């Protein structure tokens, strides 16, 4: 199969699989997830390049992947619907110190994750010091502390 076509198929497959598994997948990158990421990249590399180790194939595949990314970024800027379908939208998971349990469960966000972000970003100690916690589209959690508590 043509390497460009392989690159396109792999790109779209990865886009779908990471959309299916949710924002939190690989967002923290623990040691195990880093290893998992390396294994995924190795498997992907074999599926894309096969036994063709030529430089021209590498150039074609790199250009395909970056080209696809540029194309998708362009479409996202033009279509809000596509952007939201591909990336999702940010979602509030803590509102005025109160964890929104349903949203957290559906997004697979634990209270520990929110408190960890609160400690890391603002040195906060407790949930009631958080005005808003937002699960961003990249899977990270941003924290807005109550004024005077940050």
Partner 1 sequence: MATDVDKTEIIKHSLELDEDITLFKKGIYFQRAGTVLMFIFLICGAAGAFGTGPISQQNLTVGAAKIESEKFLRFKDETELLFRLQQVEAEAQIAFPTEYLEHFEVTNIMPEPISTEIVGDKVVYRFAANDKAVIRFFLSPGQTGSVEGSLSVNNQPVHISHFIYR
Beta bridge partners of 99: 94
Q: Give the separation between CA 70 and CA 67, rounded to whole angstroms.
A: 5
Q: Site for partner 1 (CB under 8 A): which residue of 12, 106, 116, 120?
A: 106
Binding residues with partner 1: total (CB under 8 A): 26
* Least distance between partner 1 and beta carbon 121 (Å): 16
Query: Which one of the spans 34-42, 55-63, 65-73, 99-107 is the region binding partner 1 (CB under 8 A)?
Result: 99-107
Interface positions, 63-92, toward partner 1 (CB under 8 A): 84-85, 88-92
Q: Count other Cβ atoms within 10 Å, centred on residue 75.
A: 12
**Is 22 one of the binding residues for partner 1 (CB under 8 A)?**
yes
**Is 39 one of the binding residues for partner 1 (CB under 8 A)?**
no
Between residues 67 and 88, which has the closer beta carbon with respect to partner 1?
88
Q: Give the separation between CA 67 and CA 100, rounded to whole angstroms.
A: 39
Q: Give the separation between CA 123 and CA 10, rounded to whole angstroms.
A: 41
Burial of 147 (0-12, 13-18, 19+ CB in 10 A): exposed
| Chain contacts with partner 1 (rule: CB under 8 A) | 1, 16-17, 19-22, 50-51, 84-85, 88-92, 95, 100-103, 105-106, 132, 134, 144
């Amino acid at each position: 199969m043509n390497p460009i076509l392989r690159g396109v198929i792999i790109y779209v497959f990865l886009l779908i699989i990471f959309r299916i598994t949710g924002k939190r997948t690989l967002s923290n990158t623990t040691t195990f997830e880093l290893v998992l990421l390396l294994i995924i990249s190795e498997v992907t590399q074999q599926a894309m390049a096969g036994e063709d180790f030529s430089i021209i194939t590498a150039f074609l595949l790199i250009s395909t992947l970056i080209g696809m990314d540029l194309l998708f970024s362009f479409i996202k800027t033009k279509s809000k619907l596509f952007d939201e379908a591909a990336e999702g939208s940010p979602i509030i998971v803590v509102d005025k110190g109160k964890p929104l349990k349903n949203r957290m469960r559906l997004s697979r966000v634990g209270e520990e994750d929110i408190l960890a972000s609160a400690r890391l970003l603002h040195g906060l100690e407790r949930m009631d010091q958080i005005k808003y916690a937002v699960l961003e589209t990249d899977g990270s959690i941003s924290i807005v502390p109550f004024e005077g508590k940050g």
